[in-house]
Amino acid sequence: MDDQGEVTRREFLKTAGAATAVVVLPRFSEGESQPAAVSPNSRLNYGIIGTGTEGCTLLRAFTRVPGAHCVATSDIYPPNQKKGIETAGSNPQLYEDYRQLLDRKDIDAVLIATPLNLHASMLLDTLSAGKHVFIEKTMFFKEEEEAPIRKAVAAHPGQIVQVGLQRRSDALYQYAMEMIRAGALGKVMFVRAQWHRNSDWRRPVPDAKFERLINWRMYREYSGGLMAELASHQIDVANWAIGAEPVSVVGTGGIDYWKDGRETCDNAQTIFEYPGGQKLLWSSILCNARYDFNEQIMGDRGTIEITLGKGLFYTEHVAKVSQGASKENWWAGATVTEAAEQQGLPLFPETVPAHEGFVAREQRYAREWLIRHGYKTIPANDAWFEELTNFVASVRDGKPVACGLDQGIADARAVIYGNRAIDTGKKVFWPKTTG
Ligand SMILES: NC(=O)c1ccc[n+]([C@@H]2O[C@H](COP(=O)([O-])OP(=O)(O)OC[C@H]3O[C@@H](n4cnc5c(N)ncnc54)[C@H](O)[C@@H]3O)[C@@H](O)[C@H]2O)c1
């Protein structure tokens, strides 16, 4: 990201209040390890626990971040042990028992990308071992894990904790949030989000003895199912756009299509309500992928439809909704405004090729329209690379984390309460006194 991008982002984080402050003065309990000091010029040694699908995605991104070096991996499934070592490409030491990885004094930071039921204990162990932590979403599995996590993070203020909700690091999402804060959508009242697939959501199992280890998402002992794996990203987007966490949720769902022995829902639908009456309507199905996945953020002046790598901005025809509204209430009279009402303006105009084709020209018009209306344009980025770059900057320079404790906790709570609403068929309210 260039300098201008940095300033924009910093300013945005300030206005949005989305960053978790990083306290740099460490305090330690007796007998606990201290985080290794990482000077700006020295390399940051890290280990990773869980080198399955997401672990390897993180490794591929982290190997491109200057100054970060993978010295150790931990996994318990031999094919993924091999994949992790190969993906790291730095000849890391493999540990079957992650606690041996945590015992290494030369490791500054640890990435955790294991099944959800292991997150809290691994996070707590990593903090106790004096390491900075990057923990995959969903941050934790059970409601009762929140308090010990809060306590441990408070007891280790010199250690960074970043949560792997990578949309927080995506330039397109940051830009969308900037537009929302600047009033582009007017009053945001509704978010509709869906994650639809047409597949059984299973992974191939070479031997039945590995079924639960590989398909842990199917079993309630390890997983919060669709809510934890898919909704978690989109709840975080809604929380970010609305600037609050929900106060209640109703839901339904079931195992209605893939009756194959799974324990977690194959479809789920929830409505989260926020303090100002805003709603997040979320659905996931595994039998139709026509509307695959995105979030539609709706205000009384416009809509942003967004997912990783693609965003559209639609304006509302204000005169239609406001009795007696004058033409001044319209956003602009140009044809491009009509396009913004009908087809949406792309939010990620990139470099226009020399021989401009139709799409490039449309993008240029859109960019010009956005610039005229005070919105800057941004280059596309790689959210995984950015979140890990940010993690290194937080460890080294105290830069605010891209997604911290409060966002991670708000997200995990919503996942837990959403599942509870589905399981009980009752409206679930957030506890009155939440931190
Ligand atoms: N941010 C994202 O976009 C994204 C995408 C996919 C998954 N995830 C998250 O990443 C985490 C892992 O998901 P995944 O799809 O990579 O799962 P996965 O099953 O592919 O990988 C998990 C790995 O953890 C290993 N493991 C299990 N128990 C272990 C233990 N005790 N010690 C060490 N390793 C152990 C498994 O053998 C496996 O290799 C989940 O929390 C998931 O929600 C995030």
Burial of 121 (0-12, 13-18, 19+ CB in 10 A): middle
Indicate which atom in ligand 1 lies nearest the CA of residue 228. Answer: 43
Q: How far is the CA of 137 from the centre of ligand 1 (A)?
A: 10
Can you give the residue range of the structural domain that contains 128? 3-168+386-405
pLDDT of residue 7: 26
**Residue with the two structure tokens 């842990």:** 216
The answer to whether position 270 is within a domain reads no
Q: Are strands 248-254 and 428-429 parallel, antiparallel or unpaired?
A: antiparallel
The answer to whether position 29 is within a domain reads yes
**For residue 236, is pLDDT > 80?**
yes
The answer to whether position 128 is within a domain reads yes
Q: How far is the CA of 115 from the centre of ligand 1 (A)?
A: 5
**For residue 306, is pLDDT > 90?**
yes
The answer to whether position 240 is within a domain reads no
Handedness of CA 406, 125, 37, 138 (dihedral sign): negative
Q: What is the pLDDT of residues 244-302, one digit of tens each?
A: 999 999 999 999 999 999 999 999 999 999 999 999 999 999 999 999 999 999 999 99
Q: Are strands 68-74 and 132-136 parallel, antiparallel or unpaired?
A: unpaired
d(CA 76, CA 383): 28
Mean predicted lDDT score pLDDT of the chain: 84
Q: What is the pLDDT confidence band of residue 22, given thresholds at 50, 70 and 90?
A: very low
pLDDT of residue 397: 92
Residues with CB under 6 A from ligand 1: 49-55, 74-77, 80, 98, 113-116, 118, 136-137, 164, 166, 213, 229
Ligand 1 pocket, mutate which of 75, 211, 230, 407 (most atoms under 8 A from CB): 75
Select the more confidently predicted residue: 11 or 226: 226
Q: How far is the CA of 53 from the centre of ligand 1 (A)?
A: 7
**For residue 331, is pLDDT > 50?**
no
Indicate which atom in ligand 1 lies nearest the CA of residue 50. Answer: 24
Total structural domains in the chain?
Answer: 1
Select the more confidently predicted residue: 180 or 310: 180
pLDDT of residue 55: 98
* DSSP H/E element including 86: helix 78-88
Handedness of CA 103, 104, 106, 112 (dihedral sign): negative
Indicate which atom in ligand 1 lies nearest the CA of residue 56. Answer: 16
pLDDT of residue 333: 34
Burial of 55 (0-12, 13-18, 19+ CB in 10 A): buried
Lowest pLDDT segment from 57-71, 116-130, 349-363, 391-405: 349-363
The answer to whether position 62 is within a domain reads yes
Select the more confidently predicted residue: 179 or 234: 234
Q: What are the DSSP calls for 102-119, one per residue? A: HH-TT--EEEE-S-GGGH
% pLDDT > 70, the chain:
76
User: What are the beta bridge partners of residue 337?
Assistant: none
The answer to whether position 79 is within a domain reads yes
d(CA 427, CA 415): 14
The answer to whether position 40 is within a domain reads yes
The residue contributing the CA closest to ligand 1 atom 34 is 75
Q: What is the pLDDT confidence band of residue 316, given thresholds at 50, 70 and 90?
A: confident
Nearest to 54 by CA among 119, 146, 98, 4: 119
**Are 140 and 119 contacting, i.e. CB atoms less than 8 angstroms apart?**
yes
Burial of 73 (0-12, 13-18, 19+ CB in 10 A): buried
d(CA 123, CA 407): 16
CATH number of the domain that residue 18 is part of: 3.40.50.720
The answer to whether position 274 is within a domain reads no
**For residue 192, is pLDDT > 70?**
yes
